[in-house]
Structure 1
């Protein structure tokens, strides 16, 4: 390296400046990922407060995930066009502003709108916080930077349900959004003053506008179709048919355009590598299944088991405890050995424990609910960490950035689609089981006679029996869905064997 190059290269931060920089960058990554789970345990409270159904309340989750998925591929272009530090700080500030607006929303429509804008601003925070973290550390301590960044990636989903539950129970649901505002604004201001010397050169680079428009159109059309299909009797509705046609045509057009464009917004050519393709199939099925059980569990616990948002948050967050401690060990082992067996065992482990959880009942205690979730968490680092090594180890060195961005895109999109589909399936299956059980319940009127003898009116008796039937219907439907999800996990586990052994080693924290 020449003297002029050394002068151009900014010196890493040291002392208190480095400590503060790490805290602020870790905060950005933490908040962006926290938002994917913080609302999970608060859906029923949000829906009740805004006068909508629980199924419509899940739009709060899906809208953020879809917007975040769309904005991630734009990070590279935005950084080259305006500078990585400027883009990072702007997105961080907007994240704080839109979090405030989410808390102030007085209808589901405005809340979903602000969640979309929040997702657009939160998407670039994850990859940029990682690259900036590495840039401010001395070269010989870059592994420490990656370790800190990875730790926030694992801690955030664990803390989301707990923080969301406590704030929702102790205060009200808007505080799950308000709590992030001061941290985002203060950390963004500090980042601007600390990181300005690490700004990258801005260049007038072109963007694939046509590809971006196609991406937004087909993803939005498909997500709206999945969200609203159950309310409009699916393809019996012209609205759903039109959305389905737009999604199908948009997706095919997007594929053709991106595969032939000179500078595509999403580089689909990396799918020519069999290892990457098979890894993405495992990721989309496995993460979709994982996110589905993460959405259903708190809804079932709060509505039908009588849990508060806080207690259901403790139950669902127990999955991340073992994952947090095992992640560094798995990362070290998967870099030394073939990562495919780790992924296979991890996804299969998630499937086995999902199958065990499919034998739940309404008389379970908190311990009986939470201990299978706790042990299921062992599969998380075995699944996510080595899968990254396989996916990025099967592509060329020059394609790693594109592959990492595409991996994040598929992961967030899979979670959004799974949320919509599992809610639709849950409601449909519950209605079917309810209609079956209703015809078999108290056929001879014995229970009705006993309750009337106890002083209940006929209306109260019918209401009471219907609620008991509804609770049992939901329990049966939940167990049946968990069995299906367990089968999806098993299929995803087997697919990874279709991927070849990675050609070269890749830092397993390169994408999350």
Structure 2
């Protein structure tokens, strides 16, 4: 356990907060900034867009491997030293990514950049909690939460602008000055919070099982849709490999004297409950965040930048009021805000389930604003619930596993809901197409309109198929949001039933 350290105040506290928040911002931003840049990267490196997506997958795999063992790494290297090495490695590898001249070089570099970046988010949160006085920790978590929300929203907008108007390399070069600043400040200001190195044997079996299991899981989440899921032998192999590895990993870690995963933290009821809520709510949130801009681009004719602007209002309420939310949570505890959060998420999802092909930019933007209002009540209470009963020495392990779950369920939610959207769209397309007959009056009137445009039969059928595609897509996405809404209703009921066994609330201190 670490010895008592004085809390930071004044300018050192401000600088440390900026540096830690900036490192979090850079890492979270890097998850999303490359997404819209893939076509430009693929064109410049003379590969297909599908091949270019490995730039995203490799980074996700690298970061996912180290996320859950952040606490183990910290014990071996020290808290501040691990953070500095992580930020510095991420920054240097950003420069190498920008210099890449081939896809293999970029993919390999992005994997190592992900490895370096893995501990950044959990450690920044862990350190931030420790350097603030107890009465201000919830406010600090609120500020930190704002960064986590805003970065992935800005990523596609910033990535699209840089790739279109400058060059895709600059989505990596932009990290360099900010990364160097963060590493320098963290090294200079936070030395008093360094922890002692612990000498312990390396759990090579656990590391191998974790690396193979996480890599297989991340690959099938990223590429499952492209390879048609279980119809692909490769995806089936990944499913079996990940399941087997995780089963053996859990058994091994529970019995090993020096485990790389602190699974015993799951005995803490508030921590285990928070992981459950994070798993479900983040899966749905990521699904909602991905589906709307995807629908706008593929069916409504939006450019990536305009689609990003349409969903950007998600971040308005968390950006403005996360600090106040931290203070309120300190007074009332995390359970009431979470109940309000689940109700607002349900209402927002039900509202979005009435989309149609005539909605304009402002309608979509306002619906995303409502989602952001729900998000305001989610992040700070969830992180407060997860950390409130952990000792300082448990924070690196606890935050590492927490953010590992968050990252994994984000991929699960994205994959599940995009697949669901595709399947429901195909279902509605089949039903709508069956209604287009000569005896159907609206269909007959539409064909008469097409006759007036002097289109031949083949052209008319193409137009009709396009209209049916758009209608089926919007009906499919509405089905997805309907399911999201009822899932949050279920979480509300679970929370109410759980009140019979109250979760002890201990203000962060």
Alpha-carbon distance in 1 for matches of 2:389, 2:191:
35
Which residue number in structure 2 is paired with residue 484 of structure 1?
483
Q: Answer whether contact 1:66 1:412 (CA < 8 A) is retained.
A: no
**3-state SS of paired residue (1:264):** coil
Q: CA deviation at 1:116?
A: 3.5
Task: For residues 434-483 of structure 1, give each alpha carbon's deviation from its aligned partner in whole angstroms, at most 9, with x where no partner exists.
Answer: 33333434657855565365344555444333322222221111111111
Which residue number in structure 1 is paired with residue 49 of structure 2?
52
Which residue number in structure 2 is paired with residue 505 of structure 1?
506
Which residue number in structure 2 is paired with residue 359 of structure 1?
354
Q: CA deviation at 1:374?
A: 0.5
Does 1:471 find its partner at 2:470?
yes
- Of 362, 372, 376, which residue of structure 1 is paired with 2:371? 376
Which residue number in structure 2 is paired with residue 242 of structure 1?
237
Structure 2: 5+ residue stretches without partners: none
Which residue number in structure 2 is paired with residue 251 of structure 1?
246
Measured at CA, do residues 75 and 110 of structure 1 come closer, stay the same or move farther in structure 2, by a change above 3 Å?
Answer: same
Alpha-carbon distance in 1 for matches of 2:235, 2:134:
53
- Of 323, 345, 366, which residue of structure 2 is paired with 1:328? 323
Alpha-carbon distance in 2 for matches of 1:339, 1:18:
26
Task: For residues 57-86 of structure 1, give each alpha carbon's deviation from its aligned partner in whole angstroms, at most 9, with x where no partner exists.
Answer: 776666544543331233233333234343
Measured at CA, do residues 317 and 81 of structure 1 come closer, stay the same or move farther in structure 2, by a change above 3 Å?
Answer: same
Which residue number in structure 1 is paired with residue 421 of structure 2?
426
Which residue number in structure 2 is paired with residue 299 of structure 1?
294
Q: CA deviation at 1:378?
A: 1.7
Q: Answer whether contact 1:72 1:124 (CA < 8 A) is retained.
A: yes
Alignment of 1:264-283 (within 5 A): 264-283=259-278
Q: Answer whether contact 1:169 1:310 (CA < 8 A) is retained.
A: no
Alpha-carbon distance in 1 for matches of 2:221, 2:142:
37
Alpha-carbon distance in 2 for matches of 1:138, 1:158:
30
Structure 1: 5+ residue stretches without partners: none
Q: Answer whether contact 1:58 1:420 (CA < 8 A) is retained.
A: no
Q: CA deviation at 1:385?
A: 1.6
Alpha-carbon distance in 1 for matches of 2:7, 2:319:
32
**3-state SS of paired residue (1:364):** coil
Measured at CA, do residues 174 and 432 of structure 1 come closer, stay the same or move farther in structure 2, by a change above 3 Å?
Answer: farther
Which residue number in structure 1 is paired with residue 178 of structure 2?
183
Q: Answer whether contact 1:275 1:391 (CA < 8 A) is retained.
A: yes
**3-state SS of paired residue (2:200):** coil
Q: CA deviation at 1:264?
A: 1.9
Which residue number in structure 2 is paired with residue 99 of structure 1?
94
Alpha-carbon distance in 1 for matches of 2:117, 2:477:
32
Alpha-carbon distance in 2 for matches of 1:417, 1:107:
30
Q: Answer whether contact 2:122 2:403 (CA < 8 A) is retained.
A: no
Q: Answer whether contact 1:429 1:477 (CA < 8 A) is retained.
A: yes
Q: CA deviation at 1:332?
A: 1.8
TM-score by length of 2: 0.83
Which residue number in structure 2 is paired with residue 495 of structure 1?
494
Measured at CA, do residues 28 and 41 of structure 1 come closer, stay the same or move farther in structure 2, by a change above 3 Å?
Answer: same
Alpha-carbon distance in 2 for matches of 1:104, 1:461:
49
Q: Answer whether contact 2:123 2:396 (CA < 8 A) is retained.
A: no
- C-alpha RMSD of the superposition: 3.7
Q: Answer whether contact 1:340 1:501 (CA < 8 A) is retained.
A: no
Task: For residues 297-342 of structure 1, give each alpha carbon's deviation from its aligned partner in whole angstroms, at most 9, with x where no partner exists.
Answer: 1111122112222222222120111122332222222222242122
Measured at CA, do residues 324 and 62 of structure 1 come closer, stay the same or move farther in structure 2, by a change above 3 Å?
Answer: farther
Aligned residues: 499
Measured at CA, do residues 239 and 493 of structure 1 come closer, stay the same or move farther in structure 2, by a change above 3 Å?
Answer: same
Q: CA deviation at 1:141?
A: 8.1
Task: For residues 151-202 of structure 1, give each alpha carbon's deviation from its aligned partner in whole angstroms, at most 9, with x where no partner exists.
Answer: 5344434433443344355446554334323322454356555656765444
| Greater alpha carbon shift after TM alignment, 362-371 vs 425-434 | 425-434
Q: Answer whether contact 2:122 2:399 (CA < 8 A) is retained.
A: no
Alpha-carbon distance in 1 for matches of 2:185, 2:332:
41
| Greater alpha carbon shift after TM alignment, 133-142 vs 401-410 | 133-142
Alignment of 1:216-227 (within 5 A): 216-227=211-222
Q: Answer whether contact 1:62 1:416 (CA < 8 A) is retained.
A: no
Q: Answer whether contact 2:221 2:411 (CA < 8 A) is retained.
A: no
- Of 285, 290, 303, which residue of structure 2 is paired with 1:290? 285
